[in-house]
Amino acid sequence: MYGKRPVGVKASLCTPRLSSTKSRHYSPSEARHGIGRSIVSGLKWTNEKYERFLQRRFPRFYMLYHTFMRGFRLLFQDGKEVRRIVARMLSEKIEHQNLPYRDMEKIRQVRRDLIKAIPLVIISIPPFANYLVFVLMYLYPRQLLIRHFWTPQQLVEFQGLYHTKRAQHHWAIVKGLESTSTSVQDSRLKSRLVELCSKVRSGVHPVVSDVHAVRTLFSGPPLGINRMYADQKRHLCALLFLTPRLPSFWIGRRLNSHAFELMQLDRAIVRLGLHQLNDAELREACYVRGLNPDRLSAGQCREWLTQWLQFSTHLKETMLFGLVLKYMQYEKI
């Protein structure tokens, strides 16, 4: 090819002019990216068309479909966020109790969601069982689905229902405290405990000093977690959304673990600053700690949570009296 030019053939035919003829070259990676973008664009267009069809012809089914798709996106985002938090904990050697409040709360909520989702995953394992799962999810959304797959109306409705169920245990808990007060040896502590229970039964919200006055009764006998009767522990489990259908010793361990987790969250809020929480975070924090915020203003929720923090942040890890604040609600028992 580098020898003499063929006779009768012009040089222009042997040496193409790059200036007049431009050829476009694609690398394999660019071609793959182009095909991938085309496929994603096509799928997006098809999905949008399908959603418009459902919204026009089957509006109720579209609402269910939209809620499920949004739920999967939120669940995927939460999974990525927890993965980022755990990676940061490992790389920077951060202990769980030293995490910022929002990171700590995110891990707590995702862990509870995954525990609730385990039975549904087990049911869907057999072949063709996914059809049964869809029917069950449609019929029993509160029992089987996690909050990501609830509509905003269902979220308010289900939280109100859960709070109504746990409020049914308030009377039994206060009655148990009153009956246990007879075994208190210190007459001063005994009278203060009886007075505190009378306030709660009459609908009066006790101040922090009232609760502080009897806190030592809950670090040992007769009202320490490990000294309570099994029925009292089961009533406490109902307030904390823990299953009471476990052996008594196991329930005590779970109550201790949950109370310690709440104390860590409280201290993380103090580090962050209560004023940094938005209204949604404020209401969620109150709900987790036993207060139904639906009928309360943001100012009332902030006031209640302020009193809670004033008490719980001064507790020792072995003094789990923070649980008793679960009974001190704005509503009458």
In the prediction, which pLDDT does 60 show? 74
Other C-beta atoms closer than 10 Å to the C-beta of 101 total 22
Query: Can you read off the two tokens belonging to residue 299?
Result: 């100012």
> What pLDDT is stored for residue 9 in this prediction?
45
Cα separation, 114 vs 70, whole angstroms: 17
Distance CA 127, CA 77 (A): 28
The amino acid at 302: R
Query: Could you tell me where the DSSP H helices lie in 140-169?
Result: 141-144, 152-167
Residue 108 is predicted with a pLDDT of 93
What distance in Å separates the CA atoms of residue 74 and residue 62, rounded to the nearest whole number? 18
Gap between the terminal Cα atoms of the chain: 100
Confidence (pLDDT) at 151:
84
pLDDT (tens digit, 0 to 9) for every residue of the chain, 333 residues total?
444 444 444 444 444 444 444 445 545 555 556 676 777 677 677 767 767 776 777 777 777 777 777 888 888 899 999 999 999 999 999 999 999 999 999 999 999 988 888 887 787 777 766 667 777 778 888 988 888 888 888 888 999 999 899 888 888 888 888 888 888 888 898 899 888 888 888 877 777 788 888 888 887 777 777 778 888 888 888 888 888 888 888 888 888 888 888 889 999 999 999 999 999 999 999 999 888 888 889 999 999 899 888 888 777 654 554 455 544 555 555
